[in-house]
Amino acid sequence: MEKVTSFWERFVQFITFINLPIRKKFLLFEMGTFFWFCVIGIVSVGSLSFIHFRYAQIVHVNLPYIKALQTIHPELVVMDRTIALREEGTHCTQTLFALKTSLAHMKNAFSEALVSLQKQPSSGNIFEMVLTSLSKDDNENFNTLQEINKDIIALEELVLLGQKNSTGTSDEHSREFWKKIEMRVKKTHEKTVSFSKVVEERYHYYSTQVNNIIRISINSIAIVILLSVTLLMFFTRWLREAFSRPIESMIHQIHSIGTGEVDLSKKLKIKSKDEIGTLSKEFNKLVDTVYGVTVFKKVIEEDTSLETVYTRLGEVFEKEAGIKHYRIFDVNAAKGTMSVVYPYVSDESDFLSCNEEILHSCSLCRAQKTGHKVSSFEYEGVCKEFMKEEGKKHVCIPLIVSGHAGAVVQFVFEKVHSAEELEHINEKIFKAESYIKNSLSVIETKRLMNTLRESSLVDGLTGLYNRRFLQDHSNQIIASTLRRKKQISLLMCDMDYFKQVNDKFGHDVGDSVLKETSHILKKCVREADIVIRFGGEEFLILLIDTEVDYGMSVAEKIRLAVEEYSFKTTDGILKKTISMGVSDFPNDTDGFWQAIKFADVALYKAKEMGRNRCIRFSSDYWDQKANF
């Protein structure tokens, strides 16, 4: 039984090409598919050609006959009735005129029919033109139509003769004349009726044939398609065993790896000896390798901050790659600096293996500058900023995000004594690089989110925080101030007669004045203080943790700095002044936004008193404002 089963398995593998190379499989499959398409095409084209042939006969032959007969038959009936009325006393001239009119209608109908029958096809491809030409080969009916046309012409000549001789003829001649006309009309009528039956029979014959061939074509094509689909399904089912199913399993495993839900116990089944079988073996090995990296990526994608991602990256360096000494530096390209983000240290200079200057100027870092991996294993002393320690080696790997090094990972190793140790270190670095490469997209996304969030809180012209920053962070600022039992001095600043600058020098100069003013404001306050562009030429300064009268002293300092500053324009030097209102939170009010309003009221008072001055808020100003 086993031998029989084995024989049939080999036979099935033989007829389904399972162990053939993929190129030959597709070649044989292509030939089979081409054969069945040819069969379907021959049946379809043959049946449609016959239908087209009969359709052309109906449209280009029968329809002109039918159209002509539909016009002739009623006219002959009218002529019979006209002649009968004439015998009852209708005037001869009127009767002849009516007959002539009917004959003219019949001649026109015949002319149109003859032109349509003799007209050659002028459109379509050659195949269609040949079929149309063959469909017009109907000499017998065409001759019959011409005979009827000759009878009508003869009848017309007789009527014309009657019109010429309508006067001066005897009654006997008149009776003979009308008898001839009547006999010829009847004879023509009989031919027309007989020809109508022939045309109608031919029309029904063609219609029946068209219906039959359509039915036969549909059944034939359906049978061929059913047979071909059945055979193709039979063969593709066996091909799928060696081709489709391994690919589907690979896709499923790849998707599972991407979602971190891969089941390593479910290996790909190898059922063929072709390229797919080889690929399945290699893929099973690959799954084992990338599983850990994939799960790691899934975890960091769900982390909320970039700092957490760096932390997890450092943890896998230790646990998975087995690297103990490392540093992760985050690069701030806008400021040209870099900082240690993991492991966290209180005093970075005490733990760095590099010159501390790289923290203040990231371009000194060779890996950050070049965007390439830097290794002292490959070239001793490759980076001048690395502090040479006896037996220490380093490998620095840049994390390229958005086209530049967004971070740098530095690994430090002890001195190696053999090629085996070096190979072991290379394996660790390779594994660490695998985690780094898979984390790049996540790091780039997190950095982009941080950048977008920061850009939405910064004024594009001056680089200062905008009002949205104050709205988002006011609660945090207030809570921190109240917790420390300190106060905030609020300085509302407004450039004097700033509209005149835009009107006289243009908005470019106005923007330049605002930029330079923002620089003055930042220089006059501490690093911990917050300068905000509140709107237009209006600025708000939050002096954090201040004492009484500190706000007025800073405001006066700013006023003098602006007054003494020379703004350069294309027309020369421009001198400007600034007015300021000062209030304290929570000394003046326990409402933060109310304190901002008080500073604005004090600014209004400074403007009212002549500008270029600093006014401390007083409750009297608020009463006056309310009364106003």
Burial 321-353, CB ≥16 within 10 A → b, else e: bebeebbbbbbeeeeeebebbbeeeeeeeeebb
Residue ranges of the chain assigned to CATH 3.30.450: 319-441
539, 543, 578, 580, 609 from 612: Cα distances, Å: 15, 21, 5, 8, 9
Question: Which of the residues 172, 537, 547, 564 is marked catalytic?
Answer: 537
In the three-class reduction of DSSP (H, G, I as helix; E, B as strand; rest coil), residue 273 is classed as coil
Which residue pairs, CB below 8 angstroms and at least 24 apart, start in 387-391? 387/352, 387/353, 387/354, 387/355, 389/353, 390/415, 391/415
142's tokens? 């065409």
Single-letter amino acid code for the residue at 418: S
Helix ranges, 126-259 (H): 126-135, 139-164, 171-242, 244-259
Note if the bond before 246 is cis, omega within 30 degrees.
Answer: no
Predicted local distance difference test score (pLDDT) of residue 3: 45
Predicted local distance difference test score (pLDDT) of residue 329: 92
Predicted local distance difference test score (pLDDT) of residue 351: 59
143, 388, 391, 420 from 417: Cα distances, Å: 113, 18, 10, 8
Asked if the model's pLDDT at residue 528 lies above 60, the reply is yes
460's tokens? 């594009």
Active site residue 537: yes
Predicted local distance difference test score (pLDDT) of residue 606: 94
Query: Phi and psi of 568, rounded to 5°?
Result: -90, 130
Give the total residue count for the chain.
Answer: 628
Predicted local distance difference test score (pLDDT) of residue 4: 47
Asked if the model's pLDDT at residue 124 lies above 60, the reply is no
Question: What CATH number labels 319-441?
Answer: 3.30.450
Cα-Cα end-to-end distance for the chain: 110
Asked if the model's pLDDT at residue 563 lies above 50, the reply is yes
In the three-class reduction of DSSP (H, G, I as helix; E, B as strand; rest coil), residue 326 is classed as strand
196, 316, 329, 365 from 408: Cα distances, Å: 97, 16, 5, 9
Is this structure's pTM higher than 0.95?
A: no
Asked if the model's pLDDT at residue 104 lies above 90, the reply is no
Contact 578, 558 (CB under 8 A): yes
Contact 485, 497 (CB under 8 A): no
The residue ranking higher by pLDDT, 203 or 605, is: 605
Asked if the model's pLDDT at residue 1 lies above 70, the reply is no
pLDDT, tens digit, 9 for 90 and up, residues 256-294: 656 656 566 566 666 666 666 677 777 776 676 667 777
In the three-class reduction of DSSP (H, G, I as helix; E, B as strand; rest coil), residue 548 is classed as coil
Which residue pairs, CB below 8 angstroms and at least 24 apart, start in 144-147? 144/191, 144/195, 144/198, 145/65, 145/68, 145/110, 145/113, 145/114, 145/117, 145/195, 146/114, 147/191
Predicted local distance difference test score (pLDDT) of residue 549: 85
Predicted local distance difference test score (pLDDT) of residue 611: 93
Residue ranges of the chain assigned to CATH 3.30.70.270: 467-627
593's tokens? 């936004």
422's tokens? 């070096």
> Quick count: other Cβ atoms within 10 Å of Cβ 303?
15
Which of 3.50.50.60, 3.40.630.30, 3.30.70.270, 3.40.50.720 would CATH assign to domain 467-627?
Answer: 3.30.70.270
Asked if the model's pLDDT at residue 361 lies above 70, the reply is yes
Q: Average pLDDT of the chain?
A: 78
> What percent of the chain stands above pLDDT 90?
18
pLDDT, tens digit, 9 for 90 and up, residues 441-458: 888 878 777 766 666 788
> Quick count: other Cβ atoms within 10 Å of Cβ 397?
22
Q: Which CATH class is domain 61-210?
A: mainly alpha
> Quick count: other Cβ atoms within 10 Å of Cβ 485?
8
Q: What is the DSSP letter of 407?
A: E
**Residue range 418-435: average pLDDT?**
87
**Residue range 342-349: average pLDDT?**
61
The residue ranking higher by pLDDT, 470 or 106, is: 470
Predicted local distance difference test score (pLDDT) of residue 553: 94
The residue ranking higher by pLDDT, 572 or 8, is: 572
Predicted local distance difference test score (pLDDT) of residue 347: 47
Predicted local distance difference test score (pLDDT) of residue 348: 45
Predicted local distance difference test score (pLDDT) of residue 168: 47
**Strands 578-585 and 487-495, how do they pair?**
antiparallel
Single-letter amino acid code for the residue at 281: K
Split at pLDDT 50, 70, 90, the class of 225 is confident
Split at pLDDT 50, 70, 90, the class of 171 is low
pLDDT, tens digit, 9 for 90 and up, residues 461-490: 888 888 888 888 888 888 888 887 889 999
Burial 31-59, CB ≥16 within 10 A → b, else e: eeeeebeebeeebeeebeebbbbbbbbbe
Asked if the model's pLDDT at residue 594 lies above 50, the reply is yes
| Low-confidence winner among 24-38, 83-97, 177-191, 337-351 (lowest mean pLDDT) | 83-97
Single-letter amino acid code for the residue at 56: A
CA 60, 61, 63, 65 dihedral sign is positive
Predicted local distance difference test score (pLDDT) of residue 385: 86
| Low-confidence winner among 20-34, 102-116, 400-414 (lowest mean pLDDT) | 102-116
Q: Determine whether 572 is exposed, middle or buried from the number of CB atoms within 10 Å of its CB (0-12, 13-18, 19+).
A: exposed
Note if the bond before 64 is cis, omega within 30 degrees.
Answer: no
Predicted local distance difference test score (pLDDT) of residue 89: 47
**Residue range 233-245: average pLDDT?**
69
Which range in 152-166, 219-233, 376-390, 589-603 is most confidently predicted, on average pLDDT? 589-603
Burial 436-446, CB ≥16 within 10 A → b, else e: bebbeebbbeb
Residue ranges of the chain assigned to CATH 1.20.120: 61-210
Q: Which residue has the tokens 């002539």?
A: 100
